[in-house]
Structure 1
């Protein structure tokens, strides 16, 4: 191929690329520039009933456009752990518990059914605290005697429950310990109970546990206004709340750059998938540009079991109110 042919090829390729930029016009915002058109006028002798608008919006004919510019917020994706019927084993350090969908009054009869299935006799029930205790029994697995305590609590999210298991081994007559005396045995019981609950259909039986008074629904709330909008976490220890927050941020699409419990802060980065989507020219020439937003999250302890979560841009930049509320709502969906 001669020099003149190469030059002609390059000019032709450039013309194709530039023309393509006009052919593939971005139409995503066309609906925002659309205007109402006048109804079709027909001659007097023609009937227009067949041309009536069957999908008319009430009041649209006399509407007035609001002044100013407005940005329609993009809907947030549903949190993957919300509204799904599943049973999970959660752990924090040496502690582990079962998290599942369903209010405590729905989970209570399922735990009772499990005890009947495995042949554990109930020794005591504390409805107010949601506790079921079993009698001592001989067990070859621990080469002695054992008993169990199952405690049901409202989960962080409304409509979820937590089942905590305490195992005591040894000689009968001793008081309940603070933690399980046999962690391996506790791990076995939690696994078996979780598998049983996962295999059972959610029961809608209302038990006497539903009569418990004075308890709020859920442990997580969105409160405040403007720059002081925050998430309130209740009935959680500091370590539990910190671990739940870090996991929720990662599931929400944030990357944790730094985390320091000494100052109760996490520094985050977020790559917006919409802004990082390559366009036609960037795909053609391999160009790539990263759009990253950086945030800082602060968890302020109010008490040993209550914490407030605040969100802002890094380096003192002001975070728009609607953006803050959208992000906090997204994080709430992953807190558990």
Structure 2
């Protein structure tokens, strides 16, 4: 809930200021700042590590000659021209319809630690860190930049800063996957929650899912490009160029009957269908425990969201509280090539048959996101 919504019985002076100065706030919607949410990790250098050998660049050499200086400058310029293009040319922003991802010409083993450090540097805690499956997921965090920087907050400073809240939380799932050429594809998907009143008296609130924000996904892909060696200007130009070239309407997905069971027909070749299904699984609450691209199978766990909402204390679990484990059923989501098109199917663990009602529910969830 926002600052004005939060009860302030213990702070009458603050409440008075709120009433007196309401309407003076200004919001910067394009600013993103999760570092000030109090959820991040301190990366300060310990005092005993401040004097590193690299600091010797300020020391004066014993002897310097004009010819030696010019030779050194020429060598530096040559090294710069050789190194910099190679550093930035191996990171590419890709977009096809509503799909966005980074393509990096480095193996996943070298990219993974850089991706992990990127999220820590941006103020997030890591909830899932599994390089084996290539899945990294942040904890829930608040974008503190959405809080109005008004007279009240500037006057009170950090004394009452904990009373302010946006009423929104975000988490991000990153999937790092080796491509056919030995490089790396990086996908980022967003999930959001919002705090809303659950009674007409407006005296209590609950947390509920809110819509995915593609803008946040794009911004963090751009920032990750910078962390991987691309300049700010080049990253912005890459996004603008790709957005302008993206197709106005993405490929269609339709539910069909395959051997008596519902399936999804995609007008995509296998490569794009595999990528799109993977992003959809990330967005819709599935947990990918393994995948076999050669066989076209995602091995997933899925918990019915209706069960999650009925579980006592579920939302407290989302934000750090303890909770009992919910039953999760394992499925195989198959992606089969059919020439220039593809078919998406659902099977149980070990290829077992799944009850028709479960297949219909899962197919509907996937098809709604793929459309």
Per the normalisation by structure 2, the TM-score is 0.35
| Higher Cα radius of gyration | 1
Higher helix share: 2
